[in-house]
Amino acid sequence: MIVTEAPGTRAWQVETARFAGGADLMDLPEGVDLVTGAAPAPVAGAREPLTRLELRGLTVVHDDGTIGASDVDLTVSAGELVLLVGQVGSGKSSLLASLAGLVDHRGALRWNGREIEDPQRELRPGRVAHVAQVPRVLSGTFTDNVLLGHERPFDAPVELARLTEDVSSAGGPTSLVGHRGVRLSGGQVQRLALARALATEAELLLADDISSALDATTEIALWHGLRERGATVIGATSKRAALEAADRVVVLVSGRVAASGPWESLAPRWGHLAG
């Protein structure tokens, strides 16, 4: 291979990429350097206080064309705790992923009455924080996992996620969590991911079954803490204690809303869905 351009220049990067079979890299964004790995800092997500989130006829469509949830109508006001419940495969995770801009949707999704036109760009930290059912953990320290290199609070999110004692027992915020969190229990991984989401101070928290590996006492403290903070939360769970703490519970059956209301009014018919 003969490269005629000066090493490190943009033209050199493009020519090297072409020899490597990467002709598409000719359209490199300004400021990206393939040699040093340098790139512009990401643009901070716009913050717009949430007063009302509206879903109207929202249908979740995965990349392979399968439908995750169908024709969902839902309105969530600021400070509400709304929890989804349903059997495995009922569409809970698909709906939450769609609200995080991770899965495409059809229908209307409105933030304070304004249509969300570009979910992947608009539904991001600053506005939305998503905690997956099986969250990913970095192989670094507790601090690395919560802050992700940003200037964000650490102590308050960790306390709210009921992780303070765990961090202290492990040796403090700079203690390593092991390769992909191997030193942590399932509940600790979930609470670490929750602390990371809370540290973003997002307007909307999407929590996919984050209490599945928690004991009853920790779970109750977690939900009460979120309520006291006034967080707006849409989550998925099968835990009775969480459902009882919610403002509203939405029952999903085969991807569709079958019922909605306080858990005490739903429990006589749908109590079999709660553990």
C-alpha 80: how far from its chain's center? 17
Q: What is the CA radius of gyration of the chain?
A: 22
Among 216, 247, 210, CA closest to 230: 247
Cα–Cα distance measured from residue 264 to residue 275, given in angstroms and rounded to the nearest whole number: 15
Note down pLDDT in tens along the chain; length 275 residues: 444 445 555 554 555 555 454 444 456 778 887 777 788 876 665 678 999 999 999 999 999 999 999 999 999 999 999 999 999 999 999 999 999 999 999 999 999 999 999 998 899 877 999 999 889 899 999 999 999 989 999 999 999 999 999 999 999 999 999 888 889 998 899 899 999 999 999 999 999 988 777 777 888 888 888 888 888 999 999 999 889 989 999 999 999 999 999 999 999 999 999 97
C-alpha 8: how far from its chain's center? 38
Length of the chain: 275
Cα–Cα distance measured from residue 87 to residue 247, given in angstroms and rounded to the nearest whole number: 21
Cα–Cα distance measured from residue 94 to residue 91, given in angstroms and rounded to the nearest whole number: 5
Token couple for 245:
């703490």
Q: Is the dihedral of CA 175, 181, 185, 188 positive or negative?
A: positive
Cα–Cα distance measured from residue 69 to residue 130, given in angstroms and rounded to the nearest whole number: 18
Token couple for 3:
């490269």
What stretch(es) of the chain map to CATH 3.40.50.300?
52-273
Query: What CATH number labels 52-273?
Result: 3.40.50.300
- Measure the CA angle with vertex 88, ends 85 and 93; round to 5°: 65
Q: What is the pTM of this model?
A: 0.82
- The phi and psi torsions of 170 (rounded to 5 degrees) equal -80, -10
